[in-house]
Chain A
Amino acid sequence: MKKNDVPQDSVSTYAGQRKLFYATDDKGNYLGVQSSGWEVEGEATKEAIREIESDCFRAWQQAQQGISSPLEYHMYNNRMDLPMLAQTVGMFQWRVKRHFKPSVFNTLPDKTLTRYGDALGLELSQLKSIPVEFSTPQ
C-alpha cells in the first residue's frame, strides 16, 4: 500500500480517532501513516453491531412482554452472546439459557446473580430490571 492509498474515509466507527498503518513512500521505504479509517472496515463493523443490536432489541421486547428474563437483554446490551456469557461466568450454556426464563431467573439466589452482575458490570438492581425505553448505550 502506498502512502497516498492509506484510506482516509473518516469512518464513524473510529469515533474521530486515527489508527496507524504502514505504507510505502515513492522509494519503497515504509513509514507509519495515520488513517481515519476504511469504508470496507467501517461497514463490516457496523454490520456486526447492527446484528447484535437487533438481537438486543428482540430480547428487550421479550423481556417487556415477560417472555424472557432481563438477563438475555443485558447479555446482548454488553455485546456478548450465549457462548461468551457462559464462558465468562463459568456455567454451561444450557444453564445460562435456562436463566433466560423469567420463572427461573426470578428464583435465582443473589450468589448466582452476582456472577452475572460481575460479568456484565452491573449492580443486582440493574441486572434485574430493563430500561423502560430501548436505546443503545453510548
Chain B
Amino acid sequence: MTDITTATTDVDSESPANPFAVQDTSFNHIQSAHCESGVAAGLSSHYGLPLSEPMAFGLAGALTFAYIPFIKLFGMPMIAYRMPPKAIIKGLQKRTGIKFEFKTFRNEEHGMAALDNLLSEGKPVGLQTNVYWLPYFPREMQFHFNGHNLIAFKKHEGDYLVSDPVFETALRCDAKGLKKARFAKGALAAKGLMYYPKTMPQALDLPAAIKKAIKANYKVMHAPLPFIGIKGIRYLGKQIIKLAKHPIKKDKHLNLYLGHIVRMQEEIGTGGAGFRFIYAAFLKEAAQHLEPELLTQASKQMTEAGDEWRNFALHASKMTRNRMPMDAEKLNNILNACADKEAEVWRLLKRLF
C-alpha cells in the first residue's frame, strides 16, 4: 500500500512476479492506476514539478464518458471513460505551462536513435506503444492497443529500462520488442511518438489551474451530443435494453456486449470503475488547495458514482455468467443511477466557477 502523496518505489518485500523487473534508482518509478496519467505525473515530477497521478489526471481534465458506435473493437462499439490518447499530456501542458516536445518518425531506425540520444543525455522520455509487443506483458494481458504509454529512462547493455506505470517496478525491455511496440501500425498507431518536457513553468498557480481544469471537464461531461458525457451513460443503458429486445442478438451477442463493457470499464489501466476513483482522488487532493468543503463533498459523491459503476459491472458480470437472470431493465436503472450521481457531482462543482 502506498500513500499517493508520498508514493515511492516501495513495493512489498515479496519478490515481484514479473521476471523483467529491475532495480534502478536513476528514475523514481511510481506505480499508477492508468498509464498516461502515470507517465504525465512521472515525467512532470522528474523534471521538477512534483505531481501525483490523480492530480495529473484531474489537471488534464481527462474524465469523460463516450459511446462511439462507429469505432469498433472486435465488432463492439468503443466505450471510453477517459479522453483519447495524448489528451492527458496535452491537457497537462495546457494547465501547468509545461512545454512538451512531441516527435513522431517515419523511419524506425531514426526513431530509435532519437530515443537513444535523449537517454544518453540522461533525459527520461515518454513513449506511445502497442501493448501486444511489449515483452514484459504477461500473455494474459496482451492485446492490440496502440495507446499505451510508458517512460524509457535508461539504456543498459542494449536493453531499455522502462518505468511502465501500471506495473509494480521498473522493467527491462529489449530493443526489438520496444521498436515493434513503438511502430506497430493500425488504429491509433503511435508512429514512434516520443515526448518529454522541454521547458518547465517558473511558477504554477495550482488553485487557478485546478479550477480551470474542472470547468473544462464540466463541459466535456455536458457535451451537446447524445452519446458523450452524462447523456452518453444513459444512452448506453438504452442500447442494452434495445439489444435485449433484439430477436437475434438478445442471447449470445448481448452477453459478449456486456462482457465488452465490463472490460472497457475495469480492465487494465482504468483504476476500476472507469476512472471515477482516480477523479475522486483528484478532487480530494484539490481540496487541500481550495474550497475544502465543497471539493471534499464532491470527492465523496464521485466515489459513490464509482461504487455504482462497480455495482453495474458486478450485475452485468453475474447476468452474463447465469449467476443471475438477465435483466436489462435493472442494468439500465443502475446506469441511470451512475448518470444521476455524476450529474450531482458536476452540479456541485459548477459552484466553483
- By a CB distance below 8 angstroms, the chain B residues around A14 are 138, 140-141
- By a CB distance below 8 angstroms, the chain B residues around A43 are 317, 321
Bound-state Cα–Cα, A89 to B184, Å: 10
A123 at the binding interface (Cβ < 8 Å): no
B79 at the binding interface (Cβ < 8 Å): no
B33 to chain A, nearest CB (A): 5
A8 to chain B, nearest CB (A): 12
B65 at the binding interface (Cβ < 8 Å): no
B18 and A17 within 8 A (CB): yes
Q: Give the residues from 99 to 125 in chain A that come closer than 8 angstroms, CB to CB, to chain B.
A: 119, 121
B262 and A17 within 8 A (CB): no
CB within 8 A of B33: which of A32, A49, A121?
Answer: A32
- Proximity string of chain A (12-49) to chain B, C-beta cutoff 8 Å, 1 when within and 0 when not: 11111111111110001111111100111101110111
CB within 8 A of A40: which of B143, B185, B277, B317?
Answer: B317
- Proximity string of chain A (65-102) to chain B, C-beta cutoff 8 Å, 1 when within and 0 when not: 00000000000001111011001111000000000000
B306 at the binding interface (Cβ < 8 Å): yes
Closest A residue to B285 using CB positions? A30
- Proximity string of chain B (7-24) to chain A, C-beta cutoff 8 Å, 1 when within and 0 when not: 100001000011000000
CB within 8 A of B266: which of A20, A40, A79?
Answer: A40
- Proximity string of chain B (251-279) to chain A, C-beta cutoff 8 Å, 1 when within and 0 when not: 00000100110110011100111000110
B178 at the binding interface (Cβ < 8 Å): no
B285 and A31 within 8 A (CB): no
Bound-state Cα–Cα, A49 to B32, Å: 25
A51 at the binding interface (Cβ < 8 Å): yes
When A30-B281, A41-B262, A47-B259 are in contact, do A19 and B268 touch as well, CB less than 8 Å?
Answer: yes
B33 and A21 within 8 A (CB): yes
Give how many A-B residue pairs fall within 8 Å (CB-CB).
150
- Proximity string of chain A (47-58) to chain B, C-beta cutoff 8 Å, 1 when within and 0 when not: 111011000000
B300 at the binding interface (Cβ < 8 Å): yes
A31 to chain B, nearest CB (A): 5
When A44-B317, A89-B185 are in contact, do A38 and B272 touch as well, CB less than 8 Å?
Answer: yes
When A15-B17, A17-B167, A88-B184 are in contact, do A22 and B263 touch as well, CB less than 8 Å?
Answer: no
Bound-state Cα–Cα, A81 to B167, Å: 27
Q: Give the residues from 1 to 58 in chain B that come closer than 8 angstroms, CB to CB, to chain A.
A: 1-4, 7, 12, 17-18, 31-33, 53-54
A3 at the binding interface (Cβ < 8 Å): yes
A45 and B267 within 8 A (CB): yes
A137 at the binding interface (Cβ < 8 Å): yes
B11 to chain A, nearest CB (A): 8
B267 and A44 within 8 A (CB): yes
- By a CB distance below 8 angstroms, the chain B residues around A21 are 33, 271-272, 277
B2 and A32 within 8 A (CB): yes
When A28-B296, A79-B142 are in contact, do A119 and B185 touch as well, CB less than 8 Å?
Answer: yes
CB within 8 A of B267: which of A31, A41, A83?
Answer: A41
Among the stretches B109-117, B150-158, B307-315, the one at the interface with A is B307-315
Given A19-B268, A32-B33, 13 new contacts (CB under 8 A): A13-B141, A16-B17, A16-B18, A18-B168, A20-B166, A22-B4, A22-B33, A32-B31, A38-B266, A38-B272, A43-B321, A44-B267, A47-B320
Which 8 A-B pairs have CB atoms at the shortest separation, nearest pair first?
A: A16-B17, A15-B138, A30-B281, A88-B186, A41-B266, A40-B317, A44-B262, A22-B281
List 27 A-B residue pairs with CB atoms under 8 Å apart, sorted by A's residue number: A1-B306, A3-B1, A12-B140, A15-B139, A17-B17, A17-B138, A17-B141, A19-B268, A21-B271, A22-B4, A22-B281, A24-B303, A30-B285, A31-B2, A32-B1, A32-B53, A40-B317, A41-B313, A44-B259, A45-B267, A48-B259, A84-B144, A88-B144, A88-B185, A90-B185, A121-B133, A137-B139
